[in-house]
Structure 1
Amino acid sequence: MAWIVNLQRVAMTLLLLSLSLTSFADALVGKKQISLVDKKGVEVVVGDITFYPQAEGSRYELHINHDKFKDYFLSMKEMKCLEGPELWCHLAYPYPQPHEVSNDDLSWLSHDLLFMFKKKEDFGANFWNGIYYHMQVDGDLIRGEAQAVDLNLLASPPDDLTVPPLGEPERDEIDHNKRWLPQLIIR
């Protein structure tokens, strides 16, 4: 009789493990499309990402579709920018990083999807106008909310390359009504 109780416990453990892996698998497995979303809900597809599950999360490969971006030469640097009410320039994280995420921590992906915004009439690049998408898993989607960040903080490598340098203390809330692409969706 004790073996039946033990068998039931094992079955319950496997069921709970299966349920937790299912929510993990929905958002962080396979090829997904990356869209930035404007204030009116219009999506601009900017690339795709492929997630490869591992024991502690997923490794990912990111592809930005630069065909949708225009070339700009700002502050002595070539940049790829989306054109709209503002220029929205992609600035990939410039230092080595693991390209890994988990349900609870999408920081490295946020670092790979950094942007800088500027008004078309403004001169040069203003790296203090950085955009960091704070991301969270939402069922089978990943949703990101734009936050302000000073990208000048990345002018030199962080002391510890294993820790994402743009943490909560470095980011501020923004007025989403004033920014062109305040949201991100990965599906």
Structure 2
Amino acid sequence: MHFRPLRLFMLGAASLLAACASSPPEGPLSGEKRIILMGNKGEQLDIGSVTFTPVADGATYTIRIDHRHFTDYFLSMKEMKCLEGPELWCHLPYPYQQPRKVTRDDFSWLAHDLLFMYKKKGEFGANFWNGIYYQMHLTDDAITGVAQAVDLNQLAAPPEDFTVPPFGEFERTDIEPEPRFLPFVEIR
């Protein structure tokens, strides 16, 4: 009779340990995170979420863009969802099959899901050579990135190999973030 409280305590402790062991690890590559685009003057736009599912060598992900902040534009015979500011910042999701996988050192596929084209509001048509690719890296509690220039015309035809991101380091160019509308991204 005297061992019953101890037995209940031990069962409770075992249950707590099992629950802790089965809960997913916390961190930037686990669970649902917000996608925040940021400007040079403190602007922050929450444009959606990405949900990470840990795997042995990184994480797979699903992405959801919330188009409430976007305005519909018809540019160069294509409907586009654009963020309005000093420039139009139009989201161009990667149009081809891809693995939707990241590692602690490689966020290329996630960056391909966050491709943008920028243009001045008064300019005619779409300028696909004004592409934006966010070069991302992992910090202790977030994924951060800075805009680089890419020529989105390269996506006019499907890649030969769907497992290799088309915008590698030699297809991207560093740009000065100061004149751009939303040159930074943070996923937290």
Report if TM-score (shorter chain) is over 0.5. Answer: yes
Q: Does 1:150 align with 2:151?
A: yes
Distance of 1:105 and 1:29 partners within structure 2: 15
Instruction: Provide the residue aligned with 2:39 in structure 1.
Output: 38
Q: Which runs of 4+ in 1 moved over 6 A?
A: none
Distance of 2:50 and 2:91 partners within structure 1: 15
Task: Return the offset for 1:27.
Answer: 1.1
Distance of 1:65 and 1:179 partners within structure 2: 22
Q: Report the 3-state secondary structure (helix = DSSP H, G, I; strand = E; otherwise coil) of the residue aligned with 2:99.
A: coil
Cα displacement string for residues 66-108 of structure 1 (whole angstroms, at most 9, x for unaligned residues): 1110000000000000000000000000000010001011000
Q: Report the 3-state secondary structure (helix = DSSP H, G, I; strand = E; otherwise coil) of the residue aligned with 2:127.
A: coil
Instruction: Provide the residue aligned with 1:53 in structure 2.
Output: 54
TM-score, normalization by structure 2:
0.86
Distance of 1:122 and 1:71 partners within structure 2: 16
Quote the sequence identity (%): 60
Structure 1 segment 71-90 matched on structure 2, within 5 A:
71-90=72-91
Distance of 1:126 and 1:135 partners within structure 2: 24
Instruction: Provide the residue aligned with 1:100 in structure 2.
Output: 101
Could you list the runs of 5+ residues in structure 2 that have no partner in the other structure?
1-24
Higher helix share: 1
Distance of 1:68 and 1:121 partners within structure 2: 20
Task: Return the offset for 1:176.
Answer: 0.8
Cα displacement string for residues 113-138 of structure 1 (whole angstroms, at most 9, x for unaligned residues): 00000000000000000000000001
Instruction: Provide the residue aligned with 1:29 in structure 2.
Output: 30
Structure 1 segment 3-14 matched on structure 2, within 5 A:
none
Distance of 1:26 and 1:140 partners within structure 2: 6
Structure 1 segment 123-162 matched on structure 2, within 5 A:
123-162=124-163
Distance of 2:42 and 2:62 partners within structure 1: 26
Distance of 1:40 and 1:142 partners within structure 2: 20
Cα displacement string for residues 145-165 of structure 1 (whole angstroms, at most 9, x for unaligned residues): 000000001110111000001
Cα displacement string for residues 5-24 of structure 1 (whole angstroms, at most 9, x for unaligned residues): xxxxxxxxxxxxxxxxx7xx
Task: Return the offset for 1:41.
Answer: 2.3
Distance of 2:151 and 2:172 partners within structure 1: 8
Computing the radius of gyration from Cα coordinates, the structure with the larger value is: 2
Distance of 1:172 and 1:162 partners within structure 2: 22
Q: Report the 3-state secondary structure (helix = DSSP H, G, I; strand = E; otherwise coil) of the residue aligned with 2:34.
A: strand
Could you list the runs of 5+ residues in structure 1 that have no partner in the other structure?
1-21
Look up the equivalent residue of 1:54 and give its one-letter code: V
